[in-house]
Chain A
Amino acid sequence: MMPLLTTKGLSRNFGGLRAVDGVDFALMPGEIRAVIGPNGAGKTTFVSLVSGRIQPSSGMIVFDGADITSQPAYIRVRQGIAYTFQITSVFANLSAYDNVALPVQRTLSDGRSKGAVRAGVMAALERTGLADRAHMPAGQLSYGHQRLLEVAMGLALKPRLLILDEPTQGLADSEIDNFITLVREIAKNATVLLIEHNMPVVMQLADRITVFNAGKILAEGTPEAIRENAAVQEAYLGTAP
């Protein structure tokens, strides 16, 4: 099977710092892949390169067989790469409905069907459990609900690859359980790339785990293999066990 996403020698420098350093990465369709690593390991920079928010210094990104390295972010979104932000950045002054309507209306090919926008928005809001809050301004939702709204916006793009950047940060335990169910649901139709610090969430969700350290891939494998990996433990704990 052909990978959905591959990167070859992907690098990004910020001044003298190599935030992402020659990363070769491959992601198979239908997978839930977790990306973990210590703070500053280059995880967010890596997914920002994939989503097109920043341009690479060198290297190549291939999505679904096509080289997308030089394409602007909005084109990549249209091809099916959706990115949900680490720092919640919903449109605070717009209603939850309007927030989701923006991605829904763009994916509709029929420009006239007002009913289709409404149906699409309500479907995404219902999947994330926000339907009864549709007309609240997004800024007035609780933090956990704003995170869910962020996911609803990502879902509404009907992505083939959904990148979730620390989605459970700041969520209560009860909300995290719902979230895990939601991601499993999403993964039935899409490939999920998940940056996450919460290890129980990673262990429950991920098919495979990629560990970043100092801009490079340190290890990659099944959750069990990563748990047993000595190099990973050293990167996290600082010393060999």
Chain B
Amino acid sequence: MSEASPAKAYTLHLGVIALLFVLSFLLPEYYHGLLARIMVLAVFAMGYNMLFGYVGLLSLGHAMFFAAGLYGAGLAVIQLGWNVPLAFLGGIACGAVLALGIGLLALRTTGVAFMIVTMMFAQVFYLLILYFATWTGGDQGMVVPQPARVLSFGATALELTNPTVRYMTALALFSIVLLVTLAIVRSRYGRVLVAIRENEERTKMLGYDTFSNKLAAVVISGTICAASGAAYALLFGYVGSSFASVQYSILPLLWVLLGGAATTLGPLIGTLFMYYVIDITSGYTSAYLLIVGIALILLVLFFPKGILGSVRQRWLGWLP
């Protein structure tokens, strides 16, 4: 794991980022837009993976952190008239504060109880969004008006509705989060998180306050997910309650499982894979979810550790 082959790992990750950059100029318009969306959602999956993959805590409530960023940023623009960078930071702050509160309460439980508690909190969050429809738009959601979605640096103004700007912004966020997660999992803190996943009791007996370490991981995870939500609101202009529903708590779990839990690039691979399977199969048949289901079953049967997890196990042991 850590200490071994840092150069290889960083080269690979920078290579992936470079590849995504080049793809921006090669992809046809439709896939260009799709990939921008996938990169933002992959950030959501990376946040989820931080907690699920590395600490081994299975949450079924991460939609609330994504939605906290989504609504935090969206409402800041629509109701308060904040500019884009401020609204983005506001969304992230909402997610971080929410994650701290939820973590303090939910981490009193473990295992199945943790899944249920996080899911219940997420449902409360979802219902609150519907209840306060006057401000949130209820189940209709809200559209972030185009004129507000502009990044201005002095005289130059970048319109986030422009496909290239949108793609590059998504890529920038994705790259930062990817490199940050890589640094975290290779750090001493990352080693402690894995130790907690493997054997929490033993980790305590090495002198670690496992509760604080887990709480920090929940906050990091929630903050990353909120960053994804905030970027989604500002880049794609739609803030909707469906993003807070239980479906969006299960999706990041699926993406991470597909790509490989506890691998830094797994979340991207999983999200990409799922989107493309849906995209390709829905072109042939209206029963595309059936094919998606079969693909998932085959993957679980033959790649139980996810795509990258299996690659790491069989061929590339050094993958972070």
Contacts and interface: CB of A to CB of B under 8 A. Distances in A.
A227 interface: no
B191 A98 contact: yes
A102 B205 CA distance: 11
A111 B192 CA distance: 14
Interface in B180-231: 188, 191-192, 194-195, 198-199, 201-210
Given A91-B195, A95-B1, A97-B3, A85 B207 contact: no
A118 interface: yes
B206 A103 contact: yes
A106 to B, nearest CB: 5
B212 to A, nearest CB: 10
B282 interface: no
Contact of B198 (A51, A85, A91, A107): A91
A92 B205 contact: no
Contact of B191 (A102, A118, A153): A102
Contacts of B204: 72-74, 77
B198 A74 contact: no
B2 interface: yes
B188 A105 contact: yes
Contacts of B210: 74
Interface in B95-115: none
A83 interface: yes
B203 A102 contact: yes
| A interface residue count range (under 10 / 10 to 19 / 20 to 34 / 35 or more) | 20 to 34
Contacts, number: 67
A111 B188 CA distance: 9
B3 A118 contact: yes
A118 B3 CA distance: 9
B194 A94 contact: yes
B198 A102 contact: no
Interface residues of B, number: 21
Contacts of B188: 101, 105, 111, 117
A164 B204 CA distance: 17
A102 B192 contact: yes
Contacts of A189: none
A208 B4 CA distance: 45
A74 B208 contact: yes
Contacts of B195: 91, 94, 102
B191 A106 contact: no
A188 interface: no
A117 B187 CA distance: 12
B226 to A, nearest CB: 27
A198 interface: no
Interface string B68-79: 000000000000
Nearest to B2: A98
A83 B3 CA distance: 27
A89 B3 contact: no
A133 interface: no
A121 B305 CA distance: 30
B3 A153 contact: no
B202 A85 contact: yes
B202 A91 contact: yes
A8 interface: no
Nearest to A135: B4
4 A-B pairs with the lowest CB-CB distances in the bound complex, closest first: A77-B207, A91-B198, A105-B188, A103-B206
Interface of A: 51, 53, 72-74, 77-78, 82-83, 85, 89-95, 97-98, 101-103, 105-107, 111, 114, 117-118, 135, 153, 157
Interface of B: 1-4, 188, 191-192, 194-195, 198-199, 201-210
11 contacts: A77-B204, A78-B207, A83-B205, A91-B198, A95-B1, A97-B3, A102-B208, A103-B206, A105-B188, A107-B207, A153-B206
Given A53-B205, A102-B203, 8 more contacts: A73-B204, A77-B207, A78-B207, A94-B198, A102-B195, A102-B206, A106-B208, A111-B188
